[in-house]
Amino acid sequence: MATPGIQKALEGFDRLKARVRNAEIRKHVKEERAYAAGSALLGAVLAGAADAKYRNTDGTPKSFGPVPAVGAVSAAAALAGLTDLLGSTGVYVGMAGVGGLCYVAGKFSHDHVAQGSQGT
């Protein structure tokens, strides 16, 4: 049986190991958040570029029926990221899809308000 001093030293060592492990986990979580935010921003930029580049000859956005193509592709990427189909990269594809959906929502909002202000 360990003496109280040795027992106390072992408990202190265990606490130190737990603090180091928790610090590593926090660092990893911060990195993951940064990568996910970067993926969302990249998705918004790519959606904006695709929306500007790929248009019909009359200037309207390409669409799949009533759904804009950029929104449909972004939604598909976001849904694929929610599943485990893509493995560890799925979260980044999903966040890129979310970024694209944010672009579509922002553009829709912008166009709606701009159209309303033209009428007054």
DSSP H helix total and E strand total for the chain: 3, 2
pLDDT at site 1: 60
C-alpha–C-alpha distance, residues 118 and 120, integer Å: 6
Reported as a single tens digit per residue, the pLDDT across 33-80 is 999 999 999 999 999 999 888 888 888 888 888 888 999 999 999 999
60 backbone φψ class: left, alpha, beta (φ>0; ψ -120 to 50): beta
pLDDT at site 33: 92
Does residue 30 register a pLDDT over 60? yes
pLDDT at site 119: 61
Reported as a single tens digit per residue, the pLDDT across 82-114 is 887 888 888 999 999 999 999 999 999 988 898
pTM of the model: 0.75
More confident residue, 4 or 119: 4
Domain ranges of the chain: 4-118
C-alpha–C-alpha distance, residues 48 and 43, integer Å: 9
* Sign, Cα dihedral of 84, 102, 72, 46: negative
